[in-house]
Each structure stands twice: as structure tokens, then as C-alpha cells.
């Protein structure tokens, strides 16, 4: 499977990541599965998938109900580029299952390059996650972009929309994905040529992207977690969110006050960290 890189678009044509579907249908109904025993384990003990595995699985799920305006094609770093080398390192560390090790800056590598490669990966993960919910997260069901009763997010990009406006959750995510995509495609922010300098405010741009991606996670957990459970995606969601938070904490990318909607969940991740 080809994963997002920082340079250029490449449409994804792989499907059926979970496995080959059966070619024959059974006429008789299958025996009902036994009810699972209630789990008394904490939420995070159920994380058994790596984010890489999750991205592969989610592509198949998203094919069934994705919103074409929200779902984005993937980007692939050219072979031999620094981004491709860093991606190999990410694959190797994630494959070991050690998320804490996976978020650390590799020895001798440039911090901005590391932030850039991971920013695109997290953009892709959130895009795929939300893509599985577009059938349920509609303007009628989610009239505002909220994270529980205490937190509501309004959209402004500072250019086309300078004054924050109230929009539905799907519209907010659409604006957000368009905005992030514009940042990633801007070579003055995310340089595409090897050795080209990053702008002085690069980390500030990354922090804004992460802050806004977090809002999608917050909305999913507060408004759609039961649907996630019914789709049997909770372990995948939790693993990706844990990876996202550990990376955020490692490099100080989101202010603590912005994390308040999921503070209890976050503490279960970072306290042992």
C-alpha cells in the first residue's frame, strides 16, 4: 500500500485491505456469534493495531461510504528523497509496536523534515478515520462542530474567511481538509525540493494543523464513538489517537487548554509516558 508523502499526489487503487471477500454466499444463516465477555480492562489496553495497519484497514471501510469532497488522495514521497528515508524509519518503528519510540526524532535527522513527514501522515489518518463516518456525520445530525456540550468550534482560515463562522461538523471538516491540503501543497511552507529551506515559522504552521486535526478527533469521540464501536473500529481509533497524542506531546504541538475536551483520555496516555 502506498502511503502519503510530502511530494505530489497519487490516487490509491488498492482495496479490500482486510482480506479476500468470499466469492460464494451461503444460503443458510450462520450460527450467531457468542456474546463477548464484558471487558474490565481500561480502554487503552485494547489497542492492538499499529497506525500503519489501521490505515490499510480503513481504506477498505472508507470505500463503502466516503464523501468524495472530504476524502483526499494520498501523497507519495519520491524514492531517494529524505521524506522517503524517514518514512522507512517510521514504518520500522511502528512495525515494532512501540509508539513511544516511533514518535522520537531519529538521531541526526532534521526536526522540520520529521515534523513535515509526520504531519502528512497524521492528516491522512484523520482523513481516513472521518471518512468512515461521513454517512452518519451529516449537517442534520451534527449541526455544529462540537466536542461535547462545552466545546464548539467555528471556522476561519484568516484569508477567505477572516471572521469565525458557525458551520456543521461535515462542513468544518471539509474546510479543514481543504485548508491543510493547501498548506501541504505550498512549497514555501512544505518545500518539495530536497535541501530547500523551511520557513522560520514552520513549527507554528504545524502546530495550527495539529490543533485543528485534534478537533476532528474530539468530535469523533464525543459525537460518534458509539457508532465507532458498532463498526468495531474503537481499537483502531484509540491506537491512532494515542500515536497522535504521543507525537504532539513529544514536540509540544498543542496547548494544554486545547486538549481539554479529551483531557481524561489523554491523561491515560501521557501519565505513563
- What does the pLDDT read at residue 272? 60
Domain assignment present for residue 152? The answer is yes
Residue stretches of the chain with pLDDT short of 50: 1-80, 89, 93, 95-96, 273
Domain assignment present for residue 155? The answer is yes
Buried b (16+ CB within 10 A) or exposed e, 220-244: bbbbbeeebeeeebbbbbbbbbbbb
> Which uninterrupted H or E stretch holds 65?
helix 51-65
Burial class (CB in 10 A: 0-12, 13-18, 19+), 94: buried
The CATH number for 110's domain is 1.20.140.30
Quote the domain boundaries for residue 217.
81-270
The answer to whether the CB of 215 falls within 8 A of the CB of 151 is no
Please tell me the distance from the alpha carbon of residue 124 to that of residue 72, in angstroms, as a whole number.
8
Domain assignment present for residue 76? The answer is no
Domain assignment present for residue 159? The answer is yes
Residues 6+ apart with CB under 8 A from 108: none
Report pLDDT digits (tens) over 70-87.
444 444 443 345 555 555
Domain assignment present for residue 188? The answer is yes
- What does the pLDDT read at residue 97? 60
Report pLDDT digits (tens) over 151-196.
999 999 989 999 999 999 999 999 999 999 999 999 999 998 877 8
- What does the pLDDT read at residue 54? 41
Domain assignment present for residue 232? The answer is yes
Domain assignment present for residue 70? The answer is no
Domain assignment present for residue 95? The answer is yes
End-to-end CA distance of the chain: give it in Å, rounded: 31
How many structural domains are present in the chain? 1
Residue the block writes with cell 484568516: 158
Amino acid at each position: 500500500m502506498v502511503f502519503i508523502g510530502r511530494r505530489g499526489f497519487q490516487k490509491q487503487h488498492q482495496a479490500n485491505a482486510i482480506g479476500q471477500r468470499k466469492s460464494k454466499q451461503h444460503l443458510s444463516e450462520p450460527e450467531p456469534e457468542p456474546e463477548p465477555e464484558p471487558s474490565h480492562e481500561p480502554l487503552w489496553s485494547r489497542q492492538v493495531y499499529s497506525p500503519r495497519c489501521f490505515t490499510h484497514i480503513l481504506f477498505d471501510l472508507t470505500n463503502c461510504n466516503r464523501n468524495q469532497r472530504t476524502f483526499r488522495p494520498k501523497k507519495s514521497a519520491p524514492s531517494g528523497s529524505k521524506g522517503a528515508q524517514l518514512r522507512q524509519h517510521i514504518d520500522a518503528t511502528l512495525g515494532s509496536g512501540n509508539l513511544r519510540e516511533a514518535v522520537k526524532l531519529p538521531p541526526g535527522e532534521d526536526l522540520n523534515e520529521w515534523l513535515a513527514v509526520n504531519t502528512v501522515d497524521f492528516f491522512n489518518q484523520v482523513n481516513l478515520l472521518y471518512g468512515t463516518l461521513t454517512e452518519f456525520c451529516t449537517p442534520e445530525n451534527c449541526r455544529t462542530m462540537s466536542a461535547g456540550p462545552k466545546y464548539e468550534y467555528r471556522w476561519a482560515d484568516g484569508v477567505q474567511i477572516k471572521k469565525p463562522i458557525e458551520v456543521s461538523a461535515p462542513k468544518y471538516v471539509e474546510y479543514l481538509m481543504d485548508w491543510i491540503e493547501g498548506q501541504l501543497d505550498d512549497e514555501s511552507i512544505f518545500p518539495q525540493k530536497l535541501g530547500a529551506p523551511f520557513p522560520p515559522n514552520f513549527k507554528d504552521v504545524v502546530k495550527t494543523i495539529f490543533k485543528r486535526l485534534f478537533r476532528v478527533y474530539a468530535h469523533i469521540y464525543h459525537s460518534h464513538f458509539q457508532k465507532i464501536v458498532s463498526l468495531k473500529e474503537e481499537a483502531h481509533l484509540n491506537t491512532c489517537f494515542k500515536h497522535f497524542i504521543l507525537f504532539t506531546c513529544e514536540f509540544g504541538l498543542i496547548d494544554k487548554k486545547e486538549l481539554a475536551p479529551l483531557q481524561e483520555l489523554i491523561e491515560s496516555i501521557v501519565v505513563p509516558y
